[in-house]
Structure 1
Amino acid sequence: MNTTDMKTSDTHIGSRPRRSLLKVAGVGALIAAAAGTPVFAQSNAQADRSEALRLTLDWDKVFPKSDKVDHRKITFTNRYGITLAADVYVPKNTRGRQAAIAVGGPFGAVKEQSSGLYAQALAERGFVTLAFDPSYTGESGGQPRNVASPDINTEDFSAAVDALGMLPEVDRERIGILGICGWGGMALNAAAVDKRVKAIATSTMYDMTRVMSKGYNDSVTLEQRTQSLEALGRQRWRDAEQGAPAYGPPMNTLKGGEAQFLVDYHDYYKTPRGFHPRSVNSNGSWTITTPLSFMNMRLLTYIREIAPRPILFVHGERAHSRYFSETAHAAAAQPKELLIIPGANHVDLYDRADVIPFDRLAEFFDRHLAGT
């Protein structure tokens, strides 16, 4: 057990009351407030919204701890009042305020898996990094457990930017984000609306709204989509009657005859290579109705508005999901880069240190978060 981790594991950022919550009606008043136009403020101060989370103090990552960085745990609260748990990695002997990167993903994973590996590797290369558990998963708060939302999970990324910008080691004008797998789409969506983010990278990116609403390679017909929505509607009745959501079958179990990419997922999440007990993909399942909000929203609608901030898309040559990065890259405005890793499949970019282009990612962020 690391004693430094013990001393800092309960650090909470952003738990102080927000004094100027708006009590106004209409989008116009909200926009006016954001622009600095005076509005009526709520008279009573908001109470502390942070949830009491139980954080593991032992090093329980699926990757070894680096002796080149310092590590501590923090918690912070997103805009919806959900308290998130995160690991912060800081290069040893850091002085002054540094460039920083928030890291999230894959979809259904926890910070002890791929996002933590990426965060630690980038901290070894000079960045302050933060890997977080999304709302409703891992050590983060939110009820019910194991549910996802394109809106709330996009907000989680912006809340991670909030948290980074509050750290004494971080220059809040030099913050980037990196999304892995399904969190690649969340990162792009967050960057489109959050202009504080100065550079964006994705690795083995999934657009979760596209795959849930249209299936792989956009193969789902309107009739099939309608049938799925009707089934989800019936499930809502059952959940309402029970007073709690029902969950699907355990994730990434194999019965034989599955496509290779499903075998690859099993090889990561269900074996010692990447298994973690708090991971939905390793040891749980999503609520059956989780797809509903993803089927009615498009994450990448405003991808062109990320410009002029740069995007780096990284994907494996043999990944079943490669088309997500290729079409997103085509839709994005310059400056943008698409880096295809020869011979790599989707899951290779989760944890294969000899395959993941950490130096290339570090060079990208170093160049675009250099400051003045």
Structure 2
Amino acid sequence: MVYLCPVPLDYLSFNADAPVSAPTSKGQTMELTQDWDKTFPKSYKVDHQKVTFTNRYGITLAGDLYTPKAEGPFAAIAVSGPFGAVKEQSSGLHAQTLAERGFVTLAFDASYTGESGGQPRDLASPEINTEDFSAAVDFLGMLAGVDRERIGILGICGFGGMGLNVAAADPRIKAVAATTMYDISRMMSQGYFDSTTKQQRIDGRKALNAQRWADAEAGTAAYGPTALQNLPEDAPQFAKEYAAYYTDENRGFHARSVNSNGSWTLTTPLSFMNMPLLTYIDEIAPRPVLLVHGSAAHSLYFSETAYSNAAEPKELFIVKDATHTDLSGVSAYGTSELISERRVSG
């Protein structure tokens, strides 16, 4: 079972109070929330601005741009994830922390989620979400003061896998880091811990395509329950840790987050099942790959496999006793320190 799941959320409904018009990469405007509605405190060591930009498929993405209070030129980093999260959660904390360390950073909502555009809501795609990272690189590279030869990306959880995929495809990305990485395509096709059999996969495709008929007949996408808010008692410990973070209003809850307040479209797994994300991970070289994972994380095997298949230069940094949620949802500081030490080089 996939525990990071949604209900449909109309992203415009969250923009009614105190809207602000943000500039886009094509001179358009998009109404975004004005208030600081992050799950972490605002840092006054850096400047913050809401922005929008458009990906290659014409979907307008919303982001938070964090800029050091210093003179450029700057290295820049695009940040997204975890899978089912929004920029007001972990990716924003990572971006703000990295900006305090001298990077221009952009935390963005993936297509179909958060404040970004795309219909239906709460849909994920290996192709489009990979493209979202390249679109973020487009945006950063057009900013005055950003050195195009020093643009990197940071993917968290499921967007770690997407980040490694785009780094292989987009040589403009000079370095890639992934923290507590999930290979969503592997998980969707093979299940947690590669436990899905071939017959189960075949049966799963039949069920998912039966759902396609139901969606076509209804004229709208169907969604599952808000899984993290209704976990069974026998749910895996890692799912309980997700719920403890994403559904607690004093920790990581955010109304626009799929993990906090929704579920994915029921047919979301279809595109991931037959499209492996990390096929060409070795072709990121000679650009550096940094993988950060917790020793107590259920997902550690994803980073171990990625590290094994990547070419030098590469590094797998294991944080002792850290769980998946310790790195994907709570702390940005360890990863930020590692990235700052390595820097983004040409």
Same fold (TM over 0.5): yes
Aligned AA (1:308): P
Secondary structure of 2:64's counterpart equals strand
> 2:78 matched to 1:78?
no
Structure 2 residue aligned with 1:226:
202
Q: Structure 2 vs 1, CA of residues 353 and 229 (structure 1 numbering), >3 Å: closer, same or farther?
A: closer
Structure 1 residue aligned with 2:10:
none
> 2:24 matched to 1:12?
yes
Q: Which moved more, 1:94-103 or 1:196-205?
A: 94-103
Structure 2 residue aligned with 1:103:
79
Structure 2 residues not aligned, in runs of 5+ = 1-17
Structure 1 residue aligned with 2:33:
56
Structure 2 residue aligned with 1:296:
274
Please give the alpha-carbon distance, in whole angstroms, between the structure 2 residues aligned to 1:74 and 1:131: 10
Structure 2 residue aligned with 1:35:
none
Structure 2 residue aligned with 1:33:
none
> 2:91 matched to 1:126?
no
Q: Which moved more, 1:347-356 or 1:126-135?
A: 347-356
Structure 2 residue aligned with 1:19:
none
Structure 1 residue aligned with 2:158:
182
Identity %: 65
State whether residues 152 and 175 of structure 2, in contact with CA within 8 Å, keep that contact through their aligned partners in structure 1: yes
Structure 2 residue aligned with 1:328:
306
CA deviation vs aligned residue, 1:8-37 (integer Å, no higher than 9, x gap): 851111x16xxxxxxxxxxxxxxxxxxxxx
State whether residues 12 and 76 of structure 1, in contact with CA within 8 Å, keep that contact through their aligned partners in structure 2: yes
Structure 2 residue aligned with 1:286:
264
Structure 1 residues not aligned, in runs of 5+ = 1-5, 17-49
State whether residues 90 and 332 of structure 2, in contact with CA within 8 Å, keep that contact through their aligned partners in structure 1: no
Please give the alpha-carbon distance, in whole angstroms, between the structure 1 residues aligned to 2:131 and 2:209: 26
Q: Give runs of ≥4 in structure 1 deviating > 4 Å.
A: 6-9
Question: For this pair of structures, how many residues does the alignment match?
Answer: 327
Q: CA deviation at 1:95?
A: 1.2
Q: CA deviation at 1:361?
A: 2.0
Secondary structure of 1:54's counterpart equals strand
Q: CA deviation at 1:171?
A: 1.1
Q: CA deviation at 1:362?
A: 1.4
State whether residues 21 and 31 of structure 2, in contact with CA within 8 Å, keep that contact through their aligned partners in structure 1: no
CA deviation vs aligned residue, 1:253-293 (integer Å, no higher than 9, x gap): 22312111001000110002100000011011110000000
Aligned AA (1:57): Q
Among 109, 117, 120, the alignment partner of 1:141 is 117
Q: CA deviation at 1:327?
A: 0.3
Aligned AA (2:328): Y
State whether residues 251 and 282 of structure 1, in contact with CA within 8 Å, keep that contact through their aligned partners in structure 2: no
CA deviation vs aligned residue, 1:114-145 (integer Å, no higher than 9, x gap): 00000000000000000000000000000110
State whether residues 107 and 182 of structure 1, in contact with CA within 8 Å, keep that contact through their aligned partners in structure 2: yes
**Higher RCO structure (Cα 8 Å, ≥6 apart):** 2
Q: Of the two, which has the highest radius of gyration?
A: 1
Q: Which moved more, 1:72-81 or 1:344-353?
A: 344-353
Please give the alpha-carbon distance, in whole angstroms, between the structure 2 residues aligned to 1:131 and 1:305: 25
